[in-house]
Each structure stands twice: as C-alpha cells, then as structure tokens.
Chains A and B, each alone.
Chain A
Amino acid sequence: MTDNQVPDPDDPDFFAKYTMPQAIRDFAFGPSGGTPPPRVVRAVRRPKPSGNTDDRTRQISQDSRRSNSTSGLGLIDHGGASLPRDRRRPSSTTDLLGPNTGEE
C-alpha cells in the first residue's frame, strides 16, 4: 500500500495499516521540491509466442521492437511541462479555497 492510499475503514486492521497520506503531508508541510524523476513506463509483459502467430501477436512484437529501440528498457515518460505543476498540491484544494487573498 502506498502513502497515497487510505485503507478501507471497514477493515478491522484499519489503524494498523493507516499512515499519513501524501496529500495530507503535502497539505501540511508543502510538497517536497525539485523536479520529479522521470516516470518509467515498463513495457507490458507479453506471452511468449507459442507458434500460433496471428495478426495481433505480430502487432505486439512490432510495438515491442519500436519501444526497445527508443529507450533500451522501455519508454521513459518525462511528463512534459505538466509534472512540476502537478507536484505542487492537489488542484482541488485551490478550487476550494479560492484565489490567493494576497497574504503572501
């Protein structure tokens, strides 16, 4: 279970599994700074060809070769310009609290 997930409150072990969610952590302390590392999208594991190479299997093989030629290990998604903005905090909090009141 990651920090972003809150266990099911109907689970009797709720408090044993509960840890402070990342959203609350970011809300209280501010998000940790810096640019996040590139997100690695692993190639989907494909079944080994068993001799029955229909059209779909050939298509997956072509995709796999293309992806390997790009990064060696899989596609690296740097997230473009949206990642740093997403790391600030949930945009829903901004919506809730309205525009900055000029206190800062």
Chain B
Amino acid sequence: MGGTLSNTVAARARAPPACDGGTVPRRADLDRGGAPVPIGKNPEMLDEAVKGSRDNTRGGLRELDQMVENRGGLSRHVKDENRALPRDGTGNVRSRQLPADGEPRRITAYRQRILNTQKTAFGRQKVPVRVRRAFAAVFGSDPRELVRVNDLLADNVGDVEALDEDTARKVRRVDRALRMGEAHNAADNIVYTPIRPPHGVNSGNVTGWLNRNFGDGTEVNFDRYTVTSHSAYEADGSGAAGASWRPLCEIVTRRGVYVGNAPTSKGPHPNAGHYLPRGMRLRCVGVKTIPITAPDGTTYERTVLQLEDLND
C-alpha cells in the first residue's frame, strides 16, 4: 500500500499544478484524488487523454459485467463473484426528488426512523461471518484500511480483478455486505459528502469551476466506497470544519446502506451515516446554493453539486 500511495504522491509532485487555464486540455475527475487530508471527495484535473482512457476502461468493465450477466448456467453468486463492478442490490425503491432550491436541508426524526427500520431489517438477516469480518476490517475504527482499499480501487479504475488476491477477496465481501443491506432500501436516499476542490479553486471561482466541469448531464463515477450522510450539516463537518465555501455533493440515489443511529426522543441523532458502494455511476443535475439548517435551528448556505443515479 505504501508503494502505491507514495507513487501517487510522487506523480502528483511531478505533475503541473492541477488548475484550469493550462495549455493542456484538462477535465475534472471528481473521485480521482487521494486523501492528503481527511475530507470526502478530492477531485483532480486530468489530461483529456487520461480522463478519456479511464472512462473507456470503465465502459469496458461494464460491458464485461453485462456479458457475465447474460451468460447462462451460472448461479447468482458465481455471477457476482465474476463481476468487476458490484451489482445494484436494491429492489423496489420509491422514487424521491431533490428538495427545492430554497428548502432548508435537515434530516428529520421521521426520515431517520425509516432508515433505522431498514437497518434493523438488515441486522436480522444472516450474513456470513467472513463478510462481516471484511466489512469490519474496511469500515472499522481505523480509516487506514478504507484509505488503502479506496486508493487501490481509484488507481485501477474500480477493476477488482486488478487488485491483489487478498484485497480483491475483501472488496468482494464488502460489496456483498452492501448489496445485502441495500436490498432493504425502501426509498431513494438523499445523501451528502464534502468536496475538496483542487489547488487553484477558491471562494471566488468555485461555482464557475463546478459549472465548467460538472455541467448538467455530465457523467460522474465513484470508483471508491463513499462515506456520506443523510444530514448535510454532518457532512459539512458539523458546520465548523474547513472553509465555508467548500462545496458538497447532494446525491439522490437508491444505492447504499444506512449506518447511522436511530433518532432520540429529542430529535434526529447526529450520526446519519450512509455508505455508498464502489462503482457508482451518477449524472450531474445542477450546481446550486442551498440553505442548511443546523440542529440549533440556525441556517447557513452552501454550494452543492447535485447528482442522481445514471441508469443504463
């Protein structure tokens, strides 16, 4: 792992500053960057050719997965084991819309109760112990394993076959856990994760940067597992960490598993976590400035990049 990370850091050091306005055409990849500091998504500006190559590789992996699905005589489990990207495990999910632009974002105890009911149903399900162990290793108390796995996935454009055997086995087991969990999803999730824009983007040009690179209809891929929250306030570092101009992703998706708490008698619990699987394919639907309501009732504004599931 150290080698991969150090190679990535060294490559970044050699590369020209990742910002707009260079002579080489560059395109933003929302999920390419590693985590030099801990904050959600770290977009990187990639050369046009590199970005195109990565997009083509993902397209090829999806075609291979489709061939696996179409092949007869294989059990569901064998097909899942031979896919490069995890299968969508959701069933009938009620569609939800993103809130209106001026509607303050806050999680309600009602919504959290529904999510916790889904979590309870998943908790009753029998999950193999190896799957539980792999999940606990990746999403345990120490985020280093999550960093390692995520960086490997990003380096290999999400292709699990390109990982070493032990890591690939672990990734498949985590995929299985998330797939089993998302089978209990009853409605679309609206979740948030912060974005750390690349060097050169600041409070003055962040909206323009988002609009230029993530215009409506732009496809965005998450090769990594993504930690999100149903609470915009929680995803924003509880309103206190980082610069106030840093944007958030606001994602409406049927995918992923709720890993937060149940609401309390006083209202929603501050932990409204939600894990999204790797291999997410999303579409940009807008860049907006939205109000967020903190638990104390105060409201402040943040810029969000709105994303939704991109179906084949």
Contacts and interface: CB of A to CB of B under 8 A. Distances in A.
Residue from A14, A89, A100, A103 having most chain B Cβ neighbours under 10 A: A103
Contact of A104 (B6, B36, B146, B260): B36
A32 B196 CA distance: 17
Contact of B142 (A16, A29, A90): A90
Query: Lowest 10 CB-CB distances: which A-B pairs, in order?
Result: A16-B123, A33-B240, A20-B273, A30-B241, A30-B237, A28-B227, A32-B238, A9-B136, A9-B132, A27-B143
Interface in A26-76: 26-34
A20 B141 contact: no
Contacts of B123: 13, 15-17
B237 A12 contact: no
A93 B307 CA distance: 29
A18 B259 contact: yes
B133 A30 contact: no
A103 B71 CA distance: 46
A24 interface: yes
Interface residues of B, number: 59
Contacts of A24: 139, 141, 143, 146, 227, 273
Binding site of A, secondary structure by majority: helix, strand, loop or mixed?
Answer: loop
Contacts of B239: 33
B260 A20 contact: yes
Interface string B1-34: 0000110010011000010000000000000001
A34 B140 contact: no
Contact of A19 (B37, B132, B234, B273): B273
B199 A98 contact: no
Contacts of B237: 29-33
